[in-house]
Amino acid sequence: MKIIVLSDTHSSPLPAALVREIAGADMVVHAGDFADIGFYRQLEAMKDVRAVYGNMDGMALRECLPKQTVFECEGVRIGLVHGEGSPVGMVDRLARQFKDQGVKIVVFGHSHEPYNETLGGIIFFNPGSPTDKIRAPYLSYGVLELKDGKVKAKIVRLG
């Protein structure tokens, strides 16, 4: 299973190369900050989407998406949340937040900074942003490949 992972898209048009990648994927996971429900609906029309709302998302998105969720694909439990507060200490806060939930991956956003590290047997994965590099050195998105309970996680640099 191939999953495209996005966050912090802020209603900006996605790069054409990323749209092509989404077309070839099985699912899209979005860690919030769509900023517009129309953008979320566009993604839904393209693929199966798992998503949460972020701090920049209004009531329309907050009424249809959770703040945090855990779901399973290919035998892998995935925790999904936008994140909040300072990027400093974010992973520690997320580790506590998803403790005892049996997740193998925690997908998050908020900082716009790509992150892909395994700590305590859990992959902490922030795809960065494909449309806004406010604190990041480049635009990016993520790809998760899941098969038989195994995970390959990579950050894809745009441009």
Region 24-50: what's the mean pLDDT?
96
pLDDT of residue 146: 97
Residue 36 confidence class, pLDDT cut points 50, 70, 90: very high
Q: What's the half-sphere exposure (Cβ side, CA atoms, 13 Å) at 93?
A: 11
Contact 11, 33 (CB under 8 A): no
pLDDT (0 to 100) of residue 47: 95
- 79-107 pLDDT per residue, tens: 999 999 998 999 999 999 999 999 999 99
**pLDDT for the residue numbered 97:** 95
> What pLDDT is attached to residue 65?
98
| Residue 68's CATH number | 3.60.21.10
> pLDDT band for position 109 (50/70/90)?
very high
Indicate the pTM of the whole model. Answer: 0.96
SS3 (DSSP) at 159: coil
CB contact at 8 A, 12 and 133: no
User: Helix (H, G, I), strand (E, B), or coil: what is residue 13?
Assistant: coil
* Total domains present in the chain: 1
Looking at this protein, which amino acid is placed at residue 57?
D
Secondary structure E strands in 23-149: 27-30, 48-51, 68-73, 76-81, 105-107, 115-119, 122-126, 139-147
pLDDT at 133: 86
Q: Which domain holds residue 138?
A: 2-158
pLDDT tier, 135 (very low <50, low <70, confident <90, very high otherwise): confident
pLDDT at residue number 61: 98
Where is pLDDT greater, at 52 or 88?
Answer: 52
Amino acid at position 40, single letter: Y
